[in-house]
């Protein structure tokens, strides 16, 4: 019943006692008492007797075993070699355990195998030499043994882990003598484990305690553990600050037997923290100084960060500009909504947030200079010039936010914003506009009289009434007529400008079919020139726009008039009308092949009194007010006006106007 050929050599535990004589008639009840499986075989290897335990262990009924060869209870691969051993045993039988140090294996009826331990005894059964084998199922013991080995392995790994740690890990006895000390401790303090063992830690490491050693010991005793900072001295005399965790271990009777201690080197961290504290204190001081400086400024100054422009820092003047207290870290739009503040352009039209100077700076990194904004607060409004300068992204400005204890994102856009209160300037401008308005108004009547009389003189003389005029008199009258026409135009434009500025220009809107409308304006203007060919192009017969016809006629007339005027050598002027269905707009463009506008001046062309250099060089007269008025008028219709132009190649001006949303035919269309 063994798995190894070395059976015969395993005689170390053998004894040479003589076989016990027993009788088959009365032995069985005794065999059944045994906790082991007992099997008696005769010299031929045949099983002659088994106890009950054998049935339980191997799963055979007693009757199935009797008369069978002993090898039935072995895995088949051992049959041959076992038969040989058995024969050998009978030639020199003695009591002994079988296969000492070997893995013996039994086989159950169901074919499963299991570890066994066997001891053999010769016996005389009814005077014939037999062998009795006591077989013990070792499954449970083997499992336990394996578990014990695994535990040992685990302990070994844990010991290695302890050595791997950077922390100093040590065990000391109740009087603080070192029992063990890992590699981390060797590296941290400089003594090897052999040198440290038996030494009292506090004197070896010259421990400095937060309060006193007695306090730490008392805490350990009462709480069973202690945590805190200690200062130790290394072998080389240098100091090390450690974060220490200690635990008191008791034996089963509650007597302290050891203290486990883990010490982590935090010297570096402490130094860094100290440096950081110094830097922080300096920054706070500088910040306070900066605050004092900006508070002394008369204009509003503030710093914002992030794409939603949260406030970092503001001076005193800022709160009087806003008329409200903007909280640090509060996003701009939230601040405005909470306080009922609205931002509009200089003309009082609401600005979309994306056009606020502050948001342009943080969202698009633009530096916006001198943008006119109107801050409308409940009960008052303040015209301001805003400068918003995008600053390079900052990493370390969390110091600003210390009061709100915010640990905010590290990298965000920042902007410095200044507001200049231009109420006084606006008032002066208003007075000037008023003055210009009054003058223009007063000029109208005498100008009309002048122009009327000049016209009358020319027309009536041409009809032969009165004395015929000399050539120079007719020319002088024509000059007067031309100059007064220009003056009338100028006064009308000046009046429009003052109306626009004062918000007194009101639109009378009605649905107009833009196609015949444009044709009519073109036809009228065609009569003023023979050098130019005006053409209206469109694929649509009808495009209804919701407009003030008088004002849009003024716009179209101005644009076509310019196209004619700034093409002194003549040429085609093309008016194109189209529909942008999705955007619900009608588009009108006026294209000429004239002198064009120099690129460098494109950006300023919609300013008041703005004229391009080349227009003046060509000696073409004008006021530089038309485009300004046109753009204002178009924008007040909810449309847009812009142009594209190349010097000496020509210009195209584009106008868009909102289409009427109702179906065609719902309106009576004036032609
Ligand atoms: P004005 O024609 O009375 O000077 P506008 O405001 O209508 O005033 O035009 C402003 C300036 O824009 C003009 O002086 C001229 O320099 C330029 N401009 C306008 N329209 C054209 C055009 N079609 N071609 C070239 N320059 C133009």
CA angle 663, 635, 621 (to 5 degrees): 120
Q: Residue length, the chain?
A: 671
CB of 184 within 6 A of ligand 1: the answer is: no
* pLDDT for the residue 400: 55
557 vs 544: CA distance, rounded Å:
19
Q: Which of 563, 593, 627, 633 to mutate to test the pocket of ligand 1 (most atoms within 8 A of CB)?
A: 627
CB of 596 within 6 A of ligand 1: the answer is: yes
Least Cα distance to 544 among 624, 663, 397 occurs for 663
Alpha carbon distances (Å) from 554 to 485, 517, 557, 627: 16, 12, 5, 11
100 vs 85: CA distance, rounded Å:
15
591 CA distance to ligand 1 middle (Å) = 13
- pLDDT per 10-residue tile (average), the chain, 671 residues: 38 53 81 91 91 94 93 88 80 68 84 89 87 90 93 91 92 94 95 95 94 93 95 96 96 93 94 92 89 91 93 92 93 96 88 94 90 90 92 63 49 90 86 86 90 91 89 92 90 89 87 96 96 96 94 97 96 96 93 96 89 95 93 93 96 95 46 36
- Map 216-260 to HEC letters: HHHHHHHHCEEEEEEEEECCCCCEEEEEEEEEEEECCCCCEEEEE
Task: For residue 583, give both structure tokens.
Answer: 């955007």
With a CB cutoff of 8 Å and minimum separation 6, the contacts of 543 are 513, 514, 515, 577, 579, 586, 659
* pLDDT for the residue 102: 61
648 CA distance to ligand 1 middle (Å) = 14
Ligand 1 atom closest to the CA of 650, numbered from 1: 24
Phi-psi region of 74 (alpha: psi -120 to 50; beta: other; left: phi over 0): beta
Q: Which of 574, 607, 624, 632 to mutate to test the pocket of ligand 1 (most atoms within 8 A of CB)?
A: 624
Atom 16 of ligand 1, nearest CA residue: 612
Question: Which uninterrupted H or E stretch holds 356?
Answer: none
305 vs 408: CA distance, rounded Å:
10
CB of 612 within 6 A of ligand 1: the answer is: yes
CB of 594 within 6 A of ligand 1: the answer is: yes
Using DSSP's 3-state secondary structure scheme, residue 11 falls into coil
302 vs 589: CA distance, rounded Å:
44
CB of 97 within 6 A of ligand 1: the answer is: no
Task: For residue 612, give both structure tokens.
Answer: 């391009």
609 CA distance to ligand 1 middle (Å) = 10
CB of 650 within 6 A of ligand 1: the answer is: no
Atom 10 of ligand 1, nearest CA residue: 624
Alpha carbon distances (Å) from 217 to 171, 202, 247, 292: 15, 12, 11, 52
Least Cα distance to 95 among 209, 10, 184, 178 occurs for 10
CB of 623 within 6 A of ligand 1: the answer is: yes
Alpha helices in 128-247 (DSSP H): 139-164, 183-189, 193-196, 201-204, 213-223
432 vs 428: CA distance, rounded Å:
6
622 CA distance to ligand 1 middle (Å) = 8
With a CB cutoff of 8 Å and minimum separation 6, the contacts of 178 are 170, 171, 172, 196, 197, 198, 199, 200, 201, 204
Q: Which of 500, 589, 611, 655 to mutate to test the pocket of ligand 1 (most atoms within 8 A of CB)?
A: 611
CB of 96 within 6 A of ligand 1: the answer is: no
Atom 2 of ligand 1, nearest CA residue: 622
* pLDDT for the residue 6: 36
CB of 630 within 6 A of ligand 1: the answer is: no
* pLDDT for the residue 81: 80
Torsion on CA atoms 78, 80, 86, 92, rounded to nearest 10: -120
478 CA distance to ligand 1 middle (Å) = 25
565 CA distance to ligand 1 middle (Å) = 9
* pLDDT for the residue 476: 93
* pLDDT for the residue 405: 47
611 CA distance to ligand 1 middle (Å) = 6
620 CA distance to ligand 1 middle (Å) = 9
257 vs 128: CA distance, rounded Å:
64
CB 433 within 8 A of CB 498: yes
Phi and psi dihedrals of 542, rounded to 5?
-150, 125
Alpha carbon distances (Å) from 169 to 73, 163, 219, 231, 237: 55, 8, 20, 16, 20
């Amino acid at each position: 019943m063994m798995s190894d050929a070395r059976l015969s050599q395993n005689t170390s535990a053998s004894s040479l006692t003589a076989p016990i004589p027993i009788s088959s008639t009365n032995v069985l009840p005794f065999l059944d008492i045994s906790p082991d499986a007992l099997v008696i075989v005769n010299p031929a290897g045949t099983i002659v007797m088994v106890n009950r335990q054998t049935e339980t262990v191997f799963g055979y009924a007693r009757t199935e075993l009797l008369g069978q060869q002993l090898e039935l209870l072995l895995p088949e691969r051992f049959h041959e070699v076992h038969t040989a051993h058995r024969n050998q045993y009978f030639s020199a039988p003695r009591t002994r355990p079988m296969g000492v140090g070997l893995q013996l294996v039994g086989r159950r009826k169901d074919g499963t195998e299991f570890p066994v331990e066997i001891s053999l005894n010769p016996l005389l059964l009814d005077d014939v030499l037999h062998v009795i084998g006591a077989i013990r199922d070792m499954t449970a013991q083997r499992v336990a043994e394996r578990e014990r080995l695994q535990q040992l392995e685990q302990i070994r790994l844990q010991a290695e882990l302890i050595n791997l740690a950077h922390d100093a890990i040590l065990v000391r006895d109740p009087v603080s003598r070192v029992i063990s000390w890992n590699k981390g401790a060797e590296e941290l303090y400089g003594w090897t484990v052999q040198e440290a063992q038996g030494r009292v830690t506090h004197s070896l490491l010259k421990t400095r305690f937060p309060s006193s050693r007695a306090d730490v010991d008392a805490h350990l005793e009462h709480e069973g553990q202690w945590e805190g900072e200690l200062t130790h001295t290394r072998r080389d005399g240098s100091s090390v600050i450690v974060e220490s965790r200690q635990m008191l271990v008791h034996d089963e009777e509650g007597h302290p037997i050891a203290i486990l201690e883990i010490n982590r080197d935090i010297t570096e961290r402490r130094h860094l923290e100290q440096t950081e504290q110094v830097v922080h204190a300096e920054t706070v001081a500088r910040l306070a100084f900066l605050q004092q400086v900006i508070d002394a400024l008369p204009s509003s100054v503030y710093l914002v960060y992030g794409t939603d422009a949260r406030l970092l820092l503001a001076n005193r003047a800022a709160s009087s500009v806003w008329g409200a207290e903007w909280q640090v870290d509060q996003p701009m739009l939230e601040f405005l909504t909470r306080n009922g503040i609205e931002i509009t352009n200089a003309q009082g039209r609401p600005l979309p947030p994306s056009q606020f100077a502050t948001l342009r700076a943080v969202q698009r990194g633009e530096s916006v200079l001198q943008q006119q904004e109107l801050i409308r607060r409940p009960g008052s409004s303040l015209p301001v010039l805003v400068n918003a300068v995008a600053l390079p992204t900052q990493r370390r400005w969390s110091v600003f936010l210390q009061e709100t204890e915010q640990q905010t994102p590290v990298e965000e856009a920042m902007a410095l914003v200044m507001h200049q209160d231009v109420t006084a300037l606006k008032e002066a401008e208003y007075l000037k506009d008023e003055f210009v308005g009054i003058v223009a108004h007063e000029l109208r009547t005498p100008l009309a009289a002048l122009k009327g009389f000049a016209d009358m003189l020319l027309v009536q003389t041409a009809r032969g009434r009165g004395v015929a005029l000399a050539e120079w008199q007719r020319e002088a009258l024509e000059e007067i007529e031309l100059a007064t026409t220009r003056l009338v135009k100028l006064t009308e434009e000046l009046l429009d400008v003052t109306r626009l500025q004062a918000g007194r220009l009101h639109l009378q809107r009605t649905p107009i079919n833009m196609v015949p409308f444009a044709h009519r304006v073109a036809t009228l203007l065609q009569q003023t020139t023979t050098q130019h060919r005006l053409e209206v192009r469109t694929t649509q017969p009808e495009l209804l726009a919701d407009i003030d016809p008088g004002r849009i006629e003024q716009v179209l007339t101005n644009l076509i008039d310019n196209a004619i005027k700034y093409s002194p050598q003549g040429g085609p002027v093309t008016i194109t009308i189209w529909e942008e269905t999705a955007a619900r707009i009608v588009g009108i463009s006026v294209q000429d092949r004239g002198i064009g506008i120099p690129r460098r001046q494109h950006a300023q062309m919609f300013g008041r009194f703005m004229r391009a250099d080349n227009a003046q060089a060509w000696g073409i007269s004008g006021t530089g007010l038309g485009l300004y008025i046109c753009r204002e008028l178009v924008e007040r219709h909810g449309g847009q006006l812009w142009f594209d132009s190349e010097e000496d190649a020509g210009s195209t001006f584009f106008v868009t106007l909102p289409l009427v949303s109702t179906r065609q035919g719902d309106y009576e269309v004036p032609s």
